[in-house]
């Protein structure tokens, strides 16, 4: 059985999400697990965990691209370990790789290493760019919205409003409300 996994990083990538789903189903995936979550949040990828739980011996997990599945070579090897233990395989459409063959396994390891290297180089360049922008006074970072509304948070709390209602009314996170109240000693 082919089991598909589709992922996009944000809700703004709906078209890419739908394209992955169509492609996976066209290739014969009887079940597609899909989620919209950043690859950074590996711990929060519940649908990937569900797909790996669902897979049985002889099944193949199918993804459109390697970066939709794993963030690092280590994460990729962890996923492959689960699949191998279950007697299942991995197929990456965009690369034409199928781990059902020794060559496919080798190519996946090599390409995974290159993808991780590219990501590290990109992050390094990003850090350098941010440092340069900070030095030039052009990068200030995000303004702390909750602290700017601290007086309103405290006033609403004193008026008897709960943290969730305060957060909704002021457009800030509930944790931020608790932080402001804690810092104020309320």
Q: What is the distance between the alpha carbons of residues 122 and 84, in angstroms, rounded to a whole number?
A: 31
39 is catalytic: no
Torsion sign over Cα 76, 18, 87, 110: negative
Catalytic residue, from 9, 46, 72, 176: name it.
Answer: 9
182: three-class secondary structure by DSSP:
helix
Candidates 35, 32, 38; CA nearest to 1 is: 32
Per DSSP, the chain holds a count of helices (H) and strands (E) of: 8, 5
Catalytic positions are 9
């Amino acid at each position: 059985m082919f089991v598909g996994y589709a992922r996009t990083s944000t809700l703004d990538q709906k078209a890419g999400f739908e394209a992955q789903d169509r492609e996976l189903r066209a290739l014969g995936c009887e079940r597609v697990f899909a989620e919209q979550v950043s690859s950074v949040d590996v711990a929060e990828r519940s649908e990937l965990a569900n797909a790996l739980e669902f897979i049985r011996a002889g099944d193949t997990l199918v993804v459109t691209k390697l970066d939709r599945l794993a963030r690092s070579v280590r994460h990729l090897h962890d996923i492959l370990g689960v699949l191998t233990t279950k007697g299942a395989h991995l197929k990456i459409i965009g690369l034409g790789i199928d781990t059902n063959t020794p060559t496919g396994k080798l190519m996946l390891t090599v390409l995974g290493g290159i993808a991780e290297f590219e990501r590290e180089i990109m992050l390094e360049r990003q850090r350098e760019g941010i440092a340069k922008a900070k030095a030039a006074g052009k990068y200030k970072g995000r303004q702390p919205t909750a602290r700017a509304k601290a007086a309103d948070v405290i006033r609403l709390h004193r008026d008897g409003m709960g943290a969730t209602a305060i957060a909704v009314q002021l457009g800030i996170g509930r944790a931020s409300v608790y932080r402001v109240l804690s810092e104020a000693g309320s």
